[in-house]
Structure 1
Amino acid sequence: MTTHAKNITEVTLGDGQITIDEFVAVARHGARVSFSDAYVDRVRHSRGLIERFLDENRLIYGVTTGFGDNVTEVISPADAATLQRNIVLSHAVSVGEPLSVEVVRAIELMMLVGLGQGYSGTSIEVLSLIRDLLNNRLTPYVPGEGSVGYLGPEAHMVMPLIGEGRVWVDGEVVDARTALADHGLEPVVLGCTEGLTLTNGTHSVTGIAVLLAYDAVRAATVADIAAALSLESLKGTIKAFDARLQTMKKHPEQAAVAANVRRILDGSDIVEKYRDYRVQDTYSLRAIPQMHGGAKRAINDAQTVIVEELASVGDNPVIFPEGDDGIALMGANFDSTFVAIQADLVVNAMTVLAKISERRTDRMVNSAFSEMPAFLSPVPGLNNGYMIPQYTAAALYMEMKAASMPATVDSVPTSANQEDPVSNAYLAVTKAYRMVGKLHHVLGIELMCAAQAHDLRPDEAGSAASRRVRELIRSVVPTVTDDRFFGDDMEAIAGQVADGSIIAAVEDVVGALD
């Protein structure tokens, strides 16, 4: 399933639900954002309601009360703006290495998506400034560690809106107020509830999760491609992928994986030659439909939940525009447990894909199993060949396994026990987001070894799709004859995994994969 996020140049918010492709187009590829008339109307109506509530001095959390355990403290309407500025300044306390530009952009976009639904009371002026930051590629500098689910990173993200903090401009970190002025933009003064709406909620968790879902789905497809090339390289039997066998398990993902492998290897002389070479293969070849299929089910289920959250309102309070009066309801829609549990599950699913991929890599470099020269070197002994890249794959798999402990089961109470359990969703999604990168490298190493294995048997023709993948790899990584520096090779192929090039190469031959 090839997507075209990088080909989308503008996304209009407000007339329908944003798609994952559109979301990634903005966050990763710099597509411009605009608002529909309906978007602007909804936002202005909601803003009018919250300002009326303030004028009437209604008792509403974060509008006329303090935050967290300070909910018992009543705030004068005269102090509304100070209250909102204070939440931003006091909550900007995340630490450590900064979040990547694409992650910050994803969170900013999620702010626009969520707050633009017209249930939060944020003004169109504030949302327009966030849009302008995105469109001018002024990206807030956001330390990325120290969040139990929200607040800290978001507050750093809001700082430039009020003329504080720093932003990335063309790879350099500069003063936010100066950067705004250089682009003809001015800071805003946050009105009632706006500091809360921008820092509270599911913005960061959902924004990162959308990127995670996009990448994990595609990595799972690359896993099928890498497995097919390895099956060909190791003289595996295609019989284990027979469609009749898959019907005995009632999991559609298993049948889809088997169908992908059959299509990728269609027309392979190698596959036909070795169809009956063994009675059955080792698990890492024979169980590809079952193990890949199980992982894909988890990833697909996670994507469904993440898309649901993308269409949700994760704020507190929620402003319902019922008639001219309206009502503010306080609850816990800011909680991200739905997404967090799925992010934890995606880590486990990706680790399963890494586990079986590394085993296939090991079989290709191990001459006891591969029936090829040791470590895929034409002159083993003098040359180490791909001995150590397999170490790298093994280490990455173990790192992923160590990260598979669910974050969502953990909790430390905060805010004087007012928030007695916390979702820990931020850790869940940031961990999962990092693990996709490790999986890209594990799959890249398998593809690198499979390409070399094919080169060692030049007289045996693979399928058209496998030849296309090998040609793509060889466009950036030459065949190994003598030992050389393999680090750049591994990074180059991992890049092809990450950017969709591997999938595109196969789908150009066989059509869209499931």
Structure 2
Amino acid sequence: MSVTRSEQPLDWRDVCAVAAGATLELSAHARGRIRAARELIDQIVARGIRAYGVNTGVGALCDVVVSPAEQHDLSHNILMSHAVGVGAPLGAEETRAIMAAAINNYAHGHSGVRIEVVERLLALLEADCLPEVPAFGSVGYLSHMAHIALVCVGAGHVKWRGERMSGAEALRRLGLEPLSLEAKEGLSLVNGTPCVTGLAALALRRAQRLLDWADVVSAMSFENLGGQMAAFDAGSLAFRVSPGLAQVGARMRAALAGSGLLGASIGRRTQDPLSMRTIPHVHGAARDVLAATAEVVNRELASTTDNPIVAGTPQEPQVYSQAHAVGASIALAMDSLAAALAQVAAMAERRLDRLVNPLVSGLPAFLAQASGTRSGFMIAQYTAASLVAQNRREAAPASLDGGVTSGLQEDHLCHATPAALKALAVLENSSRILGIELLAAVQAYDLQPVKAERAPYTEGLHAQIRAIVPTYRDDRPLADDMTLAFHMIADRDPPPVPDPLPARSAPVLWTAAAMEPAARSTAQPANDAMPGAVGS
């Protein structure tokens, strides 16, 4: 598969495709814009036009003039001084997504890097020779792209074909020479919002998958707990204006159509507990947040996020040295998405608690096969409660953290990249919570005292999961089952919910092979991969 950056910017789905391994190419139009922007920089240097980071220092050193003879050193030294990331490195998908977003930014034609610099990033992507990028150490941007750019000049480290090596050795094996950076290129390679934008694109894809699973898993719990289908009545839901709510209501009606278990429970209660009857409201609200976040990310990809921006003509070059590298809007969006997903997962844990609690479930205590000698899912619910608490901490807004850097010159910080990393951490925790609920719901079907048919959709899903994960009898570590369920949630889209659903016809589901965990960059981090920066 190939993605082309043309006169149109990439959108978040394009970035995700490149992150997953698609080739990224530049159209002739995009290459022309990059070359034209470089010509503007050359004119700015030749005429001695004052331009931040071109012929001045950076940050609080913005008023220090740098001579033409020193501009190569300035660009090179920016990479060295800004490569200050710490902690375990990001996974392959995260690194590829950031690189794709950076190339997209340069292709707007307002950064001023040479086409050779962009081609070097493209070559690393094509070879899947990925720079080692520490996950932490950014208050907004800078450090992540600095570690990527190090490899372009023969420094830093990469992971290639399972081997860690120096950037210099990687270039040698690829038959490439280290680049010698020219005016402004060092600054353009580290600033802007490609880091948060690439990570945000991945968060969108993973959140989309998680919310699809949340509907499916909650439907199984709802059916086991004998919920009242009136909660999903289209006429009732129409009183609240929300595209997400309407979508979830329709999905729940389709997934549960034809359920004998729910037919047997009609009129049992006046209304269900909130963790059951607000599924459309909470899941729908999260879908509305997801849609709003996607709009923000696409706007970010359509924007030039560089400082300075160059424009105009070679005869009259213009320099805009303002604040387009600050990602306030995308930081706020990532904080909002993290909170929405944390709420979905918190409600999933409440349904799980109802499934294991015999006082409200009507099922054997803790879904155990034998009372007393077996604990069943008792402690798995503890794990889910712990992850909900962790999500609550992770969902605190990064965009309000503030701080002061660079000698008071940068005295307002939005923490956009940390906001995206937190959203990815919430996604991983939430996938684990939903995985535990999924296992519990399938176990509840096995122990269901009501002798009635399940809905065709949930019947088919139950059978497919039981072909992979046998009934739990305290006969093996439950953590192994939980890991498998996590991979189902995090790596695979759920079986499509048919609408309308033919009576008693089973939906198209996975094969057993398709249920096996997919290779992911960081869901189950290998050695040094960052927990929380999960690949889809």
Q: What TM-score does the superposition give when structure 1 sets the normalisation length?
A: 0.94
Q: Residue 343 of structure 1: which of 324, 334, 339 is its match?
A: 334
Q: What aligned pairs does 1:53-64 form with structure 2 within 5 A after superposition?
A: 53-64=44-55
128-137 vs 457-466, which deviates more?
A: 457-466
Q: Which residue is 1:200 aligned to? A: 191
Per the TM alignment, residue 68 of structure 1 is displaced from its structure 2 partner at its CA by 0.6
- Structure 2: distance between partners of 1:288 and 1:381: 33
Does structure 1 residue 431 correspond to structure 2 residue 422?
A: yes
436-445 vs 324-333, which deviates more?
A: 324-333
Q: Which residue is 2:106 aligned to? A: 115
Q: Is the 8 A contact 2:23 2:125 kept in 1?
A: yes
- Structure 2: distance between partners of 1:462 and 1:351: 29
Per the TM alignment, residue 123 of structure 1 is displaced from its structure 2 partner at its CA by 1.0
- Structure 2: distance between partners of 1:503 and 1:358: 22
Per the TM alignment, residue 325 of structure 1 is displaced from its structure 2 partner at its CA by 2.9
Q: Residue 141 of structure 2: which of 147, 150, 161 is its match?
A: 150
Q: Structure 1 regions of 5+ residues with no counterpart?
A: 1-8
475-484 vs 208-217, which deviates more?
A: 475-484
Q: Residue 353 of structure 1: which of 334, 339, 344 is its match?
A: 344
Per the TM alignment, residue 287 of structure 1 is displaced from its structure 2 partner at its CA by 1.4
How far does the alpha carbon of each residue in 1:131-183 deviate from its partner, in whole angstroms, 9 at most, with x for none? 11011011111122111111122211110000011101123211111111112
- Structure 2: distance between partners of 1:490 and 1:21: 29
Q: Is the 8 A contact 1:385 1:483 kept in 2?
A: no
Q: Residue 32 of structure 1: which of 12, 16, 23 is its match?
A: 23
Q: Which residue is 2:5 aligned to? A: 13
How far does the alpha carbon of each residue in 1:9-53 deviate from its partner, in whole angstroms, 9 at most, with x for none? 2111124232323211211x2111111111111111111111111
Which SS does the other structure have where 1:96 is aligned? strand
Does structure 1 residue 493 correspond to structure 2 residue 503?
A: no
Q: Which residue is 1:93 aligned to? A: 84
How far does the alpha carbon of each residue in 1:173-206 deviate from its partner, in whole angstroms, 9 at most, with x for none? 1111111111222221111111101101111111
Q: Which residue is 1:240 aligned to? A: 231
Q: Which residue is 1:277 aligned to? A: 268
Per the TM alignment, residue 255 of structure 1 is displaced from its structure 2 partner at its CA by 2.1
Per the TM alignment, residue 307 of structure 1 is displaced from its structure 2 partner at its CA by 1.5
- Structure 1: distance between partners of 2:412 and 2:123: 36
Percent identical: 36
Per the TM alignment, residue 90 of structure 1 is displaced from its structure 2 partner at its CA by 1.0
Does structure 1 residue 188 correspond to structure 2 residue 188?
A: no
- Structure 2: distance between partners of 1:503 and 1:196: 46
Q: Is the 8 A contact 1:473 1:493 kept in 2?
A: no
Q: What TM-score does the superposition give when structure 2 sets the normalisation length?
A: 0.90
189-198 vs 318-327, which deviates more?
A: 318-327
312-321 vs 247-256, which deviates more?
A: 247-256
- Structure 1: distance between partners of 2:298 and 2:414: 19
Per the TM alignment, residue 380 of structure 1 is displaced from its structure 2 partner at its CA by 2.4
Q: Is the 8 A contact 1:408 1:424 kept in 2?
A: yes
Q: Which residue is 2:458 aligned to? A: 466
Q: Read off the aligned partner of 1:249 and give its amino acid letter.
A: R
- Structure 2: distance between partners of 1:132 and 1:408: 34
Which SS does the other structure have where 2:350 is aligned? helix
Q: Is the 8 A contact 1:264 1:510 kept in 2?
A: no
Which SS does the other structure have where 2:400 is aligned? coil
Q: Is the 8 A contact 1:466 1:506 kept in 2?
A: no
Q: Is the 8 A contact 1:246 1:258 kept in 2?
A: yes
Q: Is the 8 A contact 1:476 1:489 kept in 2?
A: no
Q: Residue 166 of structure 2: which of 172, 175, 185 is its match?
A: 175
309-318 vs 475-484, which deviates more?
A: 475-484
373-382 vs 334-343, which deviates more?
A: 373-382
Q: What aligned pairs does 1:286-325 form with structure 2 within 5 A after superposition?
A: 286-322=277-313, 324-325=315-316
Q: Read off the aligned partner of 2:471 and give its amino acid letter.
A: T
Q: Which residue is 1:5 aligned to? A: none
- Structure 1: distance between partners of 2:461 and 2:12: 26
Q: Which residue is 1:393 aligned to? A: 384
Per the TM alignment, residue 350 of structure 1 is displaced from its structure 2 partner at its CA by 0.9
Per the TM alignment, residue 324 of structure 1 is displaced from its structure 2 partner at its CA by 4.6
- Structure 1: distance between partners of 2:11 and 2:458: 31
Does structure 1 residue 447 correspond to structure 2 residue 416?
A: no
Q: Read off the aligned partner of 2:149 and give its amino acid letter.
A: V
Q: What aligned pairs does 1:350-389 form with structure 2 within 5 A after superposition?
A: 350-389=341-380
- Structure 1: distance between partners of 2:305 and 2:296: 14
Q: Read off the aligned partner of 1:447 and give its amino acid letter.
A: L
Q: Read off the aligned partner of 1:18 and give its amino acid letter.
A: L
- Structure 1: distance between partners of 2:317 and 2:464: 59
Q: Is the 8 A contact 1:54 1:64 kept in 2?
A: yes
Per the TM alignment, residue 379 of structure 1 is displaced from its structure 2 partner at its CA by 1.2
Q: Read off the aligned partner of 1:256 and give its amino acid letter.
A: Q
Which SS does the other structure have where 2:272 is aligned? coil
Q: Which residue is 1:6 aligned to? A: none
Paired residue total: 502
Q: Read off the aligned partner of 2:486 and give its amino acid letter.
A: A
Q: Residue 476 of structure 2: which of 479, 484, 488 is its match?
A: 484
Which SS does the other structure have where 1:33 is aligned? strand
How far does the alpha carbon of each residue in 1:250-282 deviate from its partner, in whole angstroms, 9 at most, with x for none? 223222211110011112222222222222211
Which SS does the other structure have where 2:158 is aligned? strand
- Structure 1: distance between partners of 2:52 and 2:310: 11
288-297 vs 439-448, which deviates more?
A: 288-297
Which SS does the other structure have where 1:72 is aligned? coil
Q: Is the 8 A contact 2:12 2:297 kept in 1?
A: no
- Structure 1: distance between partners of 2:313 and 2:233: 58
Q: Residue 412 of structure 2: which of 414, 417, 421 is its match?
A: 421
Q: Which residue is 1:67 aligned to? A: 58
Does structure 1 residue 210 correspond to structure 2 residue 216?
A: no
Per the TM alignment, residue 322 of structure 1 is displaced from its structure 2 partner at its CA by 4.2
**CA gap 1:98/1:282 in 2 versus in 1, 3 angstroms:** same
**CA gap 1:501/1:470 in 2 versus in 1, 3 angstroms:** farther
Which SS does the other structure have where 2:399 is aligned? coil
- Structure 2: distance between partners of 1:36 and 1:295: 36
- Structure 1: distance between partners of 2:437 and 2:291: 23
Per the TM alignment, residue 510 of structure 1 is displaced from its structure 2 partner at its CA by 6.8
Q: Is the 8 A contact 1:337 1:423 kept in 2?
A: yes
Q: Read off the aligned partner of 1:307 and give its amino acid letter.
A: N
